[in-house]
């Protein structure tokens, strides 16, 4: 079996290391008998002695990603990857702690995207056999179609760049729109997070389940919210819809469904400034909701989002660690669940050629 290597850029190194540790743990426990059987079949004879357990150093491949004074990006993979199956873990998110002005370092989403492309190119030129871009948060995903004339489809362009750089597969988490899968001509595995939210709520907030209504903040997120409702076995389901009057000058949020006297869980994929989510919260409170919580996969918390959440009627928000949550960590209203276990499981199954269907977003 060709070796497995995990590489990371600067975007979310803590998540990457956590994933690598879980990959090692799973290889040495859950998958040890399967791997021994594969090796036995390929050698054509029983294995002699006991195979040494996998160590973190066997999987982790250190990469140096730095910035020159003019802010050009430099990437160097520090171990051989010839003939290896390499997974590059790099969300294309904004840098969590911005680089001070005048100092070289990542400052925007584009810097993290460039890091990903350069790492993939370096691995390709180093003769890696397979390169899987693990992109927990896919930047530019909201620009997935033309909304007016003379604008780009940026998500498609990013897909082209990743593919052209040399990736042979992509692993993503809760894409903003499922059709982004079709922007790639290489396999893309699209992991879901509904079970993570449901498990967290059942374990830590069972009181939420009484009179709970799961709500989508817009019609485009109905499928995502429905999956969470099904996981929680919640009979209550509703959505909000925008209605424009007077030639589009006046916008009204309509609540489709009954939320009066209910606990409400808003489900969305991205929380950036929080504007859309908090408008939905205000509207649900106006319609008689008793309490409002939120579950958002990608918590960007751009600008003064945390301050706006504190000043709102929102009782609690759950996000994942697809994006580093250093700013929100320890905040009384924010809870973080990890996608590391699912990513590790998906990486192992991809590497071993096993099915990952149970981890994927399916159906409508």
**Within 13 Å of residue 252, how many CA atoms lie on the same side as its CB?**
9
Q: Tens-digit pLDDT profile for the chain (364 aa)?
A: 569 999 999 999 999 999 999 999 999 999 988 877 776 676 665 555 556 889 999 999 999 999 999 999 999 999 999 999 999 999 999 998 767 777 899 999 999 999 999 999 999 999 999 999 999 999 999 999 998 999 999 999 999 999 999 999 999 999 999 999 999 999 999 999 999 999 999 999 999 999 999 999 998 899 999 999 999 999 999 999 987 665 555 577 899 999 999 999 999 999 999 998 999 999 999 999 999 999 999 999 999 999 999 999 999 999 999 999 988 888 999 999 999 999 999 999 999 999 999 899 765 4
Residues with Cβ within 8 Å of residue 297, at least 6 apart in sequence: 173, 174, 193, 268, 269, 270, 319, 320, 322
Q: Which is catalytic among the residues 55, 66, 146, 242?
A: 242
Instruction: Give the pLDDT of residue 178.
Output: 92
C-alpha 142/C-alpha 360 separation (Å) is 20
Query: Roughly what angle, to the nearest 10 degrees, separates helices 32-43 and 13-28?
Result: 70
Residue with tokens 């649900």: 284
C-alpha 21/C-alpha 230 separation (Å) is 31
Instruction: Give the pLDDT of residue 245.
Output: 60
Instruction: Give the pLDDT of residue 138.
Output: 98
Instruction: Give the pLDDT of residue 110.
Output: 97
Instruction: Give the pLDDT of residue 364.
Output: 45
Instruction: Give the pLDDT of residue 328.
Output: 87
Quote the tokens at residue 129: 């056999």
Instruction: Give the pLDDT of residue 300.
Output: 96
Strand partners, 130: 85
Instruction: Give the pLDDT of residue 48.
Output: 56
Quote the tokens at residue 312: 């709102």
Instruction: Give the pLDDT of residue 327.
Output: 82
Strand partners, 172: 135, 190
Domains of the chain plus CATH, in order, are 4-192+340-359 (3.40.50.2020), 194-337 (3.40.50.2020)
Is 242 one of the catalytic residues?
Answer: yes
Length of the chain, in residues:
364
C-alpha 115/C-alpha 135 separation (Å) is 12
Provide the whole-model pTM. 0.94
Residue with tokens 């276990």: 341
Residue with tokens 């509703």: 238
If DSSP states are collapsed to H, E and C, what string results for 56-90?
Answer: HHHHECCEEEEECCCCCEEEEECCCCCCCEEEEEC
If DSSP states are collapsed to H, E and C, what string results for the chain?
Answer: CCCEEEEECCCCHHHHHHHHHHHHHHHHCCCHHHHHHHHHHHHCCCCCCCCCCCCHHHHECCEEEEECCCCCEEEEECCCCCCCEEEEECCCCCCCCCCCCCCCCCCCHHHHHHHHHHHHHHHHHCCCCEEEEEECCCCCCCCCCCCCCCCCCHHHHHHHHHHHHCCCEEEEECCCCHHHHHHCCCCEEEECCHHHHHHHHHHHCHHHHCCEEEEECCHHHHHHHHHHHHHHCCCEEEEEEEEEECCCCEEEEEEECCCCCCEEEEEEEEECCCHHHHHHHHHHHHCCCCEEEEEEEEECCCCCHHHHHHCCCCCEEEEECCCCCCCCCCCCCEEEECCHHHHHHHHHHHHHCCCCHHHECCCC
Quote the tokens at residue 149: 């004339």
């Amino acid at each position: 079996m060709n070796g497995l290597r995990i590489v990371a850029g600067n975007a979310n190194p803590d998540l990457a290391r956590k994933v690598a540790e879980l990959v090692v743990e799973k290889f040495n426990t859950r998958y040890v008998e399967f791997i021994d059987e594969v090796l036995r079949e390929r050698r054509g004879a029983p294995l002699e002695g006991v195979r040494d357990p996998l160590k973190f150093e066997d999987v982790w491949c250190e990469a140096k990603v730095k910035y020159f004074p003019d802010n050009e990006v430099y990437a160097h993979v520090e171990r051989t990857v010839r003939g290896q199956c390499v997974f590059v873990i790099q969300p294309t998110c904004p840098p969590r702690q911005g680089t001070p002005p005048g100092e070289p370092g990542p400052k925007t989403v584009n810097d993290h995207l460039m890091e990903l492309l350069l790492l993939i190119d370096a691995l390709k030129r180093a003769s890696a056999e397979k390169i899987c871009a693990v992109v927990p948060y896919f930047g530019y995903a909201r620009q997935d179609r033309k909304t007016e004339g003379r604008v780009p489809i940026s998500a498609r362009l990013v897909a082209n760049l990743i593919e052209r750089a040399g990736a042979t597969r992509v692993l993503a988490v809760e894409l903003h729109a499922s059709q982004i899968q079709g922007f790639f001509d290489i396999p893309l595995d699209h992991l879901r997070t509904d079970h993570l939210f449901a498990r967290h709520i059942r374990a830590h907030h069972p009181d939420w389940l009484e009179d709970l209504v799961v709500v989508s903040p817009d019609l485009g997120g109905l499928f995502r919210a429905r999956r969470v409702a099904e996981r929680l076995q919640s009979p209550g389901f509703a959505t909000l819809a925008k209605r424009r009057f007077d030639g589009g000058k006046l916008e009204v949020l309509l609540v489709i469904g009954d939320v009066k006297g209910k606990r409400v869980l808003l489900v969305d994929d991205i929380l950036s400034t929080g504007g859309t989510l908090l408008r939905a919260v205000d509207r649900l409170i106006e319609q008689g909701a008793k309490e409002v919580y939120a579950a958002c996969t990608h918590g960007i918390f751009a600008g003064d989002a945390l301050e706006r959440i504190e000043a709102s009627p929102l009782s609690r928000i759950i996000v994942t660690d697809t994006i580093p949550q250093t700013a929100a960590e320890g905040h009384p209203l924010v809870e973080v669940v990890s996608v590391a276990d699912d990513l590790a499981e998906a990486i192992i199954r991809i590497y071993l050629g096993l099915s990952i269907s149970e981890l994927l977003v399916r159906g409508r």
